[in-house]
Every structure is written in structure tokens, then in C-alpha cells.
């Protein structure tokens, strides 16, 4: 037996081309196992030995086998060809299997048939009927079709499966639940993998899968044969293929499942209403009370009493439990234990015969000072509509507190499974709860804009500007106000401070001229939507537009582009807002609420500017061997602060004695240290690391206004969403009544859509 298995296993045939030959050996091995032979026992009887030796003598003929590797000739390899997959199934008392062929029709109508794959199985030792074996063969064909369509990277237009068993074809057109387990499970799997319209009948004479069960020699396989080239009728048009005979197949009575009628009759004394039709718990109870009174409800003398409302609530709760725990109710009514996998197993439930409700058994039954509802609360399913109405009613009655307060109130009478989760789910959809507790959905922190990465550009190439103050100064005996203005280089962190007499357009333009005269013209200015900035931008544009066309053409490259951040979004300008805080902190330490003359204040601003420009960029090492960190002053003044002398180079330096090149060398040193030490520290996202839910058109939002109490924050509808360079929504336009506002998403809190109250029956 050991040599038999070794010889058979050495035949490597992944496509199953020699299956008619190897299946003969598989059947022979099954016969040998029936003889209970050991691994090293000789093959007996003599008849089986002769069969094995005859099979062995055919193996050298494997060298004569040849079959084409391509599925179709080169002329038929184009997208317009039509490919069909044909799978043939057959079974016998000893083996069953299936074989697949690819039928390719080119543009000229020429048909090419190619062998694809084949699979075979030996019939089990337990004797099966022929219809069951044919069904097993059909299952291998369905599985073979699934494998080929998954693994073959070709566009297959049609799949057709062929079987010579009319009984199997009748089973495949019926419902699988009608048959016993063996037939039913296989029919269900075949119906899942294939469509019943794909199955057709073929007689045994034209079925190439018949060679799997009957077997072939290697000599027959090497010669032109139906197994390698497929059945001849596939070369003909589909109208000439074997038709399905009109045969009335009698169903296999032995395979039909025995049928039995199982029914139950429930007599309900009341027809309860659907809780989904009501908006509140009170409306449901009132409608139930009216339905219980029937025609008498219109009589003024028979107004509902308190007992009617109690009875209506019991009926509603009983119906909710019947919908959620039918098996548990049936078991408790009959005195049987509930199923072990029941959701109520840990609660030791009990059936209250007086009310017809399931209550928590629990461990508090010896408490004498508690009500019945507190010791044995009523069990409810969190997903039932009645439970949702109860949670909503309690939440509104308690004026929308936290989930723990609502749960504590409900526990006085009801035990809701996973109660906290159900309450929080309701509060996430409640407009009032979200109005007071919801937070904005913030997108992930964006990448650094291009203005922050203007490397090897002069200082203040991209500049952020903002005003701060006011500060009180002395002018003679009176006090006046002054404001500070800050210009910050977005890349090198250089700071320029100046003093403004007013917060108007003229004061800003004069300050801008002083800044350009001292620091150079910036390419772009980034600022908020202050009226002085917007007015300065408008005035510069108007002045430019009234110039002569020739002058406009010459000055066009020298214009300054203004970029405005969204209104009420200071984090869009966090780079300069942080420096404003540093300036205010320094002035607060120096002035200590004192009022100083204007020259003193202006001097203080310049001193603070020098301190900020001497601030190191990046991490300051504690190692004495490390060089000093890079500072903005290194680029502005050629030294790290005003107290240090300018660096001089000796005569051995490659720059020689050309002192005018010192500034360029210092700039190179700045950018080298900047890129090495400071720029990598900007990679991290310190907050807003995850994306929140994006706003959509029509979303109802609450606009955050830090200047107002939350109760006065306006509610509006999103009319337009504005995406950033990374495609994420960071700004939106919101309509409140007749006005439209542009706000960042960090100032917008999404609210649940308001649901109109449905009409009660």
C-alpha cells in the first residue's frame, strides 16, 4: 500500500488533465482498503494486483501527452470575443466529478474549444443512491464554476452547466427546504453558487464527464479524443445543442422531508396600537385608553379614570415584553427555566401573574421599606419602541439631565437592558440634549500651508499681521489709546512690532509703509477680517486700478496679495496669535498697569521685539558641545541677539577678505540650522489627530459664539461647505434666518434633524 500511494501521489496534475487515468487508481486503492491491508502488506487478491500492475505499465506513456497552453489562438485574443464556460458533471457507483471547457467565438464566427480544469471524487464507502451521487457531481461542477470565475482573469459572458440526471435538474428548480438534509444542503449550496437557468440536460453519449467515471488509458488520452477537445456539438450554434427533453420527472418520495403543521392560536382581548405611530409616551397611553373604551370614549359621562391609565400602561408594557421576550414568557408561564443563553439569565426573572409582566427576581426581596417596583422592576428591551418612548418621556420630564440621572429615575420602576447605552443613544439624537452638551466635530489638523514653508526666501516673504491692545498712554494731562500691530514671518518666525494711533485704514497703511521701508516688501499678507485690513486692501487695489495702464503693467509684479482667514477662526492664524500673547505677557510684566508716555511705549515694543527675535527655534540641547540654537535675529542682524558682536572670518577662510559675503554666509548658516533642527519639529500633530464627521448640505448646526451665553447661540442651516487644500471640510456657510455667516467647523455644533410629530390615530 505504501508504494501504491507513493506512485499515485507522484503524478502531478494540477489541472486534472489525466483524471480519467488517475481515478482508476483511486478506485483501486479504495478496493484495497476494503481488504484491511496494512501499509507494508502485499497486494491481494491476484485480480487487484494485476489491475495495479497494468496501471503502472501505462505510466511511461505520459511522455506522449500534449495539450495547448493558450485558451485561444492569437487571432481570438481581443476584447470583442465571446467566451462561454461549459461544465459537465457525471457520476457512477464508484466515482463522480466534473470537467470544464472554455468556448471562444471570435469576430469571424470561428469557435475554439479548450480544456480548462477537471475534478473527481471517489464515491464514499457508504452506499449512496445514484440520484445522490449525481447531485454530488453537480455540486463539484458548481464549485468548479466558482473557482474558475474567481481565478481566471478573463471576461466570461455565459456559464452553462450540464448534467445527464433529470432528477438532479428537477431538484435544482425546487426549494431546498423540501428535502432531507443530504439533498437539501447540497441543493442550497448549488443554488447559492449558480443560477437554475444555467443548468441544462445532456445525454451520456455526449457528456465528456462520463470518461471520469468510466476511465481512460494514457494512450487514449494522447490521441485525439473528446476529453481533450470537448464535445463536438459545442462547435455548432446554440440552436443545435442537445435540447432538454420534456420528461415529467416523478419526485423522489424517499428524499422529501416529512411535513407537519405547527400552529398556535392566540386570542387577544385588546387590539393594541403600534408605538411607532406616536411621538411621546403620553400620547401612546392616551390613545390606548381611548381604544379600550371604544365607542364609550365619546360619552361625556364615561371619562377615563386613573385605573384606565394604569391598565393601559400594563397592556402596553406586556405587549412590549411579548415582542421582545416571547420564549422567556412562555417558559415562565409554564414554570420551566428560561434558556441558558437568554438575555435575562443574570436577572433571575419572575412572572407576575397579577400584572402579566416579567419582573427582575434579584436579591432584594427581603427589603421591607421599598416598593414592589423598586425591588422587582419591570424588564424592558432597549431597542423596543415602547422603551424609547419611556426614555424620551423621562428625559424631557427631568429637563434633559445626564444619562446617570435618567437611568436612576427609570430604575425606580423599570429595568432596561443595557440602560446606559440606550439612554446615551437617545440623547445623541435629542435636539435639546445636544444643544446643551454637544461639541463641534473637528477634522484632523491640516498640513502646513505653503506660506509656512517658504525656505531660502528673505524674511517676511509671507507675513501674518494682527492688531492688539488698546494701551493707555499719557499725552500731557490727558490719557489716550494706542494699539499695537504685529508682523510675523510665517516661515522664519521673525517678528516686527509697531504702534498705531487708530484702528483705521490710514493708520494701517502708514504702518505698512514703515514696515516695508525697514523689512522689505512681503509677497503676501495673511490677516483676519478686521475693517482696517480689509479697507487697506481695498484702498491699495483702488489706487492701483486708477494708475495708467503702462504703470499698472510695470507695478503688477510688485503687488501684495492679501489672504483672509475665516471670520471667528483665530486658530487659522495661530502662528501670529501666539506671538500676540507673548507680547502682551511681556508688556504686562514691564508696565504693571502703569500709564506711560507714547515714546516709552514705543521703546518697550521695540525691546520686546528684540527679545522675541532672540528666542531660539526648536529644541535647546543641554550638551555643552552642541552649537547655539538658531534664532530669527541670526537672519535679521547676522548675530543671535543685539548684545553679541558680528562674526568675523580669519584669513584662512575660503571666503578670503570679502566682508560683503559675510551676510550670505550667515544666511546659509541660518537655513542649514533651520532645516536641520527646527523644521522636523513641525511634523507632529499635537491635537485634532482624528477626523470628526463632516458637515453636509442642509445640516442643522449651532453656531458657537464665545461672547454670548450658550442659550443665545444662534441655530442655522449649512448652505455651503468649503474644503481646504486637503479636501477636508474646514469652513462652512450657515444661513440664520435671512443672513449668511461664514464660520469654521470648530465653531459649528451639528444638531439632530428636527422630527415632526406624527399624527396619532
Contacts of residue 580, defined as CB under 8 A and 6 or more positions apart, other chains included, come to: 466, 468, 486
- The confidence score (pLDDT) of residue 84 equals 93
Q: How would you label 236-258 residue by residue, b for 16+ Cβ within 10 Å and e otherwise?
A: eeeeebbeeeeeeeeebeebeee
**Mean pLDDT over the full length of the chain:** 81
- 589 — pLDDT class (breaks 50, 70, 90): confident
Reported as type and span, the H/E element at residue 703 is: strand 700-703
| pLDDT of 636 above 80 | no
- The confidence score (pLDDT) of residue 122 equals 93
Cα–Cα separations (whole angstroms), residue 73 to 17, 69, 110: 20, 10, 11
User: CA geometry: angle at 558 spanning 672 and 484, to 5°?
Assistant: 75
Q: Which of 103-107, 344-348, 366-370, 373-377 has the lowest mean pLDDT?
A: 366-370
Beta bridge partners, 703, equal: 748
Q: What percent of the chain has pLDDT over 70?
A: 83
Q: Give the residue extent of every domain in the chain.
A: 1-240, 281-289+306-437, 464-618+631-641+661-682, 699-750
- The confidence score (pLDDT) of residue 89 equals 95
pLDDT in tens, 408-423: 888 888 989 988 999 8
- The confidence score (pLDDT) of residue 641 equals 62
| pLDDT of 125 above 80 | yes
Give the span between the Cα atoms of 743 and 529, in whole angstroms: 12
Q: Which of 216-225, 363-372, 378-387, 714-723 has the lowest mean pLDDT?
A: 363-372
pLDDT in tens, 16-65: 999 999 998 988 888 888 888 887 788 777 888 888 888 888 888 888 88
Give the span between the Cα atoms of 615 and 633, in whole angstroms: 9
Give the span between the Cα atoms of 506 and 538, in whole angstroms: 12
Give the span between the Cα atoms of 755 and 497, in whole angstroms: 54
- The confidence score (pLDDT) of residue 675 equals 60
Centroid of chain to Cα 498:
51
Most confident of 79-93, 548-562, 569-583, 634-648: 79-93
**SS percent in the chain: helix, strand, coil, step 5:** 45, 15, 40
C-alpha cell at 76: 481570438
| pLDDT of 757 above 60 | no
Contacts of residue 111, defined as CB under 8 A and 6 or more positions apart, other chains included, come to: 103, 104, 105, 234, 235
Give the span between the Cα atoms of 513 and 123, in whole angstroms: 97
- Average the pLDDT over 631-637 and give the result: 75
User: CA geometry: angle at 755 spanning 752 and 760, to 5°?
Assistant: 155
332: nearest Cα among 311, 312, 361, 374: 361
Contact 111, 161 (CB under 8 A): no
CATH superfamily of 464-618+631-641+661-682: Ribonuclease H-like superfamily/Ribonuclease H (3.30.420.10)
β-pair type (561-564, 524-527): parallel
Reported as type and span, the H/E element at residue 551 is: helix 549-555
- The confidence score (pLDDT) of residue 638 equals 66
- 761 — pLDDT class (breaks 50, 70, 90): very low
pLDDT in tens, 651-707: 444 444 444 454 455 555 555 655 665 556 666 666 666 777 778 888 888 888 888
Q: Helices marked H in 35-110 — which ranges?
A: 46-57
- The confidence score (pLDDT) of residue 83 equals 92
- 729 — pLDDT class (breaks 50, 70, 90): confident
Q: Prior bond to 45 cis, omega within 30?
A: yes
Give the span between the Cα atoms of 289 and 310, in whole angstroms: 9
pLDDT in tens, 69-82: 888 888 888 888 99
Which residue matches cell numbers 445640516? 699
- The confidence score (pLDDT) of residue 619 equals 66
- 212 — pLDDT class (breaks 50, 70, 90): very high
Number of continuous H segments (helices) and E segments (strands) in the chain: 24, 20
Beta bridge partners, 495, equal: 488
Give the span between the Cα atoms of 100 and 161, in whole angstroms: 9
- Residue 220's CB is within 10 A of a number of other CB atoms, namely 15
Contact 398, 432 (CB under 8 A): no
Query: Collapsing DSSP states into helix, strand and coil, what is residue 507?
Result: helix
Q: How would you label 128-143 residue by residue, b for 16+ Cβ within 10 Å and e otherwise?
A: beebbbbbbbbbbbbb
pLDDT in tens, 452-472: 777 778 888 888 888 888 888
- The confidence score (pLDDT) of residue 686 equals 67
- The confidence score (pLDDT) of residue 642 equals 58
Sheet-wide strand order for 199-201: 111-122, 95-105, 82-91, 158-163, 199-201
List of E strands, 428-541: 462-475, 478-489, 495-500, 524-527
β-pair type (462-475, 596-597): parallel
Contact 472, 595 (CB under 8 A): yes
Contacts of residue 329, defined as CB under 8 A and 6 or more positions apart, other chains included, come to: 321, 322, 351, 358
Q: How would you label 450-488 residue by residue, b for 16+ Cβ within 10 Å and e otherwise?
A: ebbebeeebbbbbbbbbbbbebebeeeeeeeebbbbbbb
β-pair type (715-723, 729-736): antiparallel
- 632 — pLDDT class (breaks 50, 70, 90): confident
- The confidence score (pLDDT) of residue 668 equals 59
pLDDT in tens, 261-272: 666 655 555 567
C-alpha cell at 713: 447661540
- Average the pLDDT over 722-736 and give the result: 83
If one compares 97 and 671, the residue with the highest pLDDT of the two is 97
Beta bridge partners, 488, equal: 464, 495
Q: Helices marked H in 325-462 — which ranges?
A: 326-333, 372-375, 385-397, 403-410, 419-429, 431-437
- Average the pLDDT over 288-298 and give the result: 68
Give the span between the Cα atoms of 513 and 521, in whole angstroms: 9
pTM metric for this prediction: 0.46
Give the span between the Cα atoms of 284 and 156, in whole angstroms: 58
Q: Which of 189-203, 317-331, 645-659 has the lowest mean pLDDT?
A: 645-659
Contact 266, 318 (CB under 8 A): no
β-pair type (748-750, 700-703): antiparallel
- The confidence score (pLDDT) of residue 653 equals 47
- The confidence score (pLDDT) of residue 556 equals 59
Amino acid at each position: 500500500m505504501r508504494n501504491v500511494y507513493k506512485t499515485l501521489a507522484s503524478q502531478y496534475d494540477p489541472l486534472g488533465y489525466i483524471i480519467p487515468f488517475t481515478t482508476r487508481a483511486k478506485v483501486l486503492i479504495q478496493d484495497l482498503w476494503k481488504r484491511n491491508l496494512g501499509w507494508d502488506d502485499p497486494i491481494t487478491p491476484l485480480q487487484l494486483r494485476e489491475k495495479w500492475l497494468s496501471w503502472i505499465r501505462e505510466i511511461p506513456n505520459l511522455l506522449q501527452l500534449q495539450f495547448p497552453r493558450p485558451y485561444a489562438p492569437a487571432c481570438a485574443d481581443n476584447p470583442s470575443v465571446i467566451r462561454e464556460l461549459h461544465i459537465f458533471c457525471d457520476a457512477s457507483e464508484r466515482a463522480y466529478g466534473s470537467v470544464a471547457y472554455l468556448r471562444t467565438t471570435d469576430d469571424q464566427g470561428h469557435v475554439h474549444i479548450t480544456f480548462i480544469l477537471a475534478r473527481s471524487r471517489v464515491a464514499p464507502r457508504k452506499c449512496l443512491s445514484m440520484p445522490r451521487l449525481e447531485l454530488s457531481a453537480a455540486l463539484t461542477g458548481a464549485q468548479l464554476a466558482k473557482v474558475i470565475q474567481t481565478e481566471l482573469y478573463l471576461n466570461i459572458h455565459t456559464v452553462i452547466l450540464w448534467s445527464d440526471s433529470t432528477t438532479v435538474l428537477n431538484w435544482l428548480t425546487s426549494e431546498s427546504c423540501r428535502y432531507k438534509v443530504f439533498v437539501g444542503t447540497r441543493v442550497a449550496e448549488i443554488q447559492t453558487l449558480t443560477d437554475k437557468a444555467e443548468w441544462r440536460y445532456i445525454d451520456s453519449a455526449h457528456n465528456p464527464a462520463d470518461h471520469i467515471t468510466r476511465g481512460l488509458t494514457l494512450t487514449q488520452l494522447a490521441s485525439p479524443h473528446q476529453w481533450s477537445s470537448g464535445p463536438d456539438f459545442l462547435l455548432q450554434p446554440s440552436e443545435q445543442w442537445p435540447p432538454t427533453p420534456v420528461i415529467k420527472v416523478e419526485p423522489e418520495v424517499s428524499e422529501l422531508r416529512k411535513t407537519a403543521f405547527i400552529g398556535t392560536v392566540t386570542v387577544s382581548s385588546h387590539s393594541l396600537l403600534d408605538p411607532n405611530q406616536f411621538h411621546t409616551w403620553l400620547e401612546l397611553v392616551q390613545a390606548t385608553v381611548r381604544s379600550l373604551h371604544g365607542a364609550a370614549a365619546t360619552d361625556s359621562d364615561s371619562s377615563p379614570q386613573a385605573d384606565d391609565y394604569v391598565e393601559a400602561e400594563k397592556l402596553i408594557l406586556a405587549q412590549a415584553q411579548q415582542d421582545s421576550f416571547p420564549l422567556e414568557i412562555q417558559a415562565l408561564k409554564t414554570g420551566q427555566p428560561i434558556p441558558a443563553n437568554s438575555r435575562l439569565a443574570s436577572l433571575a426573572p419572575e412572572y407576575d401573574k397579577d400584572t402579566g409582566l416579567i419582573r427582575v427576581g434579584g436579591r432584594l426581596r427581603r427589603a421591607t421599606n421599598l416598593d414592589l417596583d423598586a425591588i422587582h422592576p419591570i424588564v424592558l428591551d432597549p431597542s423596543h419602541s415602547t422603551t424609547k418612548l419611556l426614555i424620551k418621556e423621562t428625559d424631557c420630564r427631568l429637563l434633559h439631565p445626564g444619562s446617570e440621572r435618567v437611568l436612576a429615575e427609570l430604575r425606580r420602576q423599570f429595568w432596561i437592558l443595557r440602560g446606559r447605552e440606550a439612554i446615551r443613544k437617545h440623547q445623541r439624537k435629542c435636539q435639546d440634549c445636544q444643544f446643551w452638551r454637544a461639541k463641534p466635530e473637528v477634522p484632523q489638523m491640516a498640513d502646513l500651508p505653503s506660506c509656512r514653508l517658504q525656505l531660502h526666501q528673505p524674511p517676511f516673504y509671507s507675513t501674518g499681521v494682527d492688531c492688539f491692545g488698546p494701551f493707555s498712554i499719557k499725552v500731557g494731562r490727558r490719557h489716550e489709546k494706542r494699539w499695537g500691530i504685529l508682523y510675523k514671518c510665517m516661515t522664519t518666525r521673525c517678528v516686527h512690532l509697531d504702534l498705531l494711533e487708530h484702528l483705521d485704514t490710514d493708520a494701517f497703511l502708514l504702518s505698512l509703509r514703515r514696515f516695508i521701508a525697514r523689512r522689505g516688501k512681503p509677497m503676501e499678507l495673511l490677516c483676519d477680517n478686521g475693517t482696517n485690513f480689509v479697507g487697506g486692501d481695498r484702498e491699495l487695489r483702488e489706487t492701483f486700478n486708477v494708475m495708467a495702464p503702462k504703470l499698472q503693467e510695470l507695478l503688477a509684479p510688485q503687488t501684495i496679495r492679501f489672504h483672509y482667514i475665516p471670520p471667528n477662526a483665530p486658530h487659522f492664524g495661530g502662528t501670529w496669535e501666539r506671538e500676540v500673547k507673548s507680547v502682551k505677557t511681556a508688556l504686562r510684566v514691564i508696565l504693571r498697569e502703569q500709564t506711560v508716555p507714547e515714546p516709552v511705549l514705543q521703546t518697550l515694543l521695540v525691546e520686546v521685539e528684540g527679545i522675541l527675535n532672540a528666542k531660539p527655534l526648536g529644541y535647546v540641547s543641554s550638551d555643552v558641545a552642541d552649537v547655539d540654537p538658531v534664532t530669527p535675529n541670526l537672519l535679521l542682524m547676522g548675530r543671535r541677539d543685539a548684545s553679541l558682536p558680528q562674526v568675523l572670518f580669519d584669513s584662512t577662510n575660503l571666503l578670503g577678505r570679502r566682508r560683503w559675503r559675510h551676510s550670505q554666509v550667515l544666511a546659509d548658516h541660518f537655513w542649514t540650522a533651520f532645516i536641520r533642527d527646527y523644521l522636523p519639529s513641525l511634523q507632529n500633530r499635537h491635537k485634532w489627530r482624528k477626523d470628526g464627521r463632516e458637515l453636509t448640505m442642509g445640516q442643522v448646526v449651532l453656531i458657537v459664539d464665545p461672547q454670548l451665553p450658550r442659550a443665545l447661540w444662534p441655530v442655522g442651516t449649512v448652505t455651503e461647505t468649503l474644503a481646504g487644500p486637503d479636501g477636508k471640510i474646514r469652513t462652512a456657510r450657515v444661513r440664520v434666518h435671512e443672513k449668511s455667516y461664514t464660520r469654521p467647523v470648530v465653531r459649528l455644533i451639528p444638531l439632530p434633524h428636527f422630527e415632526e410629530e406624527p399624527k396619532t390615530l
